[in-house]
Amino acid sequence: MSSVGIVIVSHSPKVAEGAADMVRQMVGDEVKVAWCGGDPTGGLGTSVEKIMQAIDSAWSAGGVAILVDLGGAETNSEMAIEMLPPERQGRAVVCNAPIVEGAVIAATEAAGGSPLEVVKRTAEELSPQ
């Protein structure tokens, strides 16, 4: 079975890239990690198109877990999921977790072969209740 892929979506491309770099350094290359950030003009923001490209890049048979920084990133990620082919929509989830810590723990869980539901739940355990 393929490891769950990880997508990091931030309003800042540098934050997204830095979080992805931390995941790769701490977990290695056995989990696909993609990131995106910034609006189409290069400013702060997110883009549904960029998110869809990141989902495609990190896609595996195990699905993808998406970590986001702010509300707009979550909204655009949900829109990107809705635009996926129907067979993929149920295999992409947004995790309500801190972007850096959540991405690292989600990737660690994915590297161990856990299914998407467990990866999501483990990342979300980091969020304050």
**Distance between CA atoms of residues 31 and 112, nearest Å:** 10
**Distance between CA atoms of residues 54 and 84, nearest Å:** 12
On whether the CB atoms of residues 2 and 62 are closer than 8 A, the answer is yes
Tokens of 48: 């549904």
List the Cα angle 74/80/83 in 5-degree steps: 145
Phi, psi at residue 111, to the nearest 5°?
Answer: -60, -30
The SS3 call for residue 64 is strand
Q: Report, as residue numbers or ranges, the catalytic residues.
A: 11
Closest to 47 (Cα-Cα) out of 22, 13, 18: 13
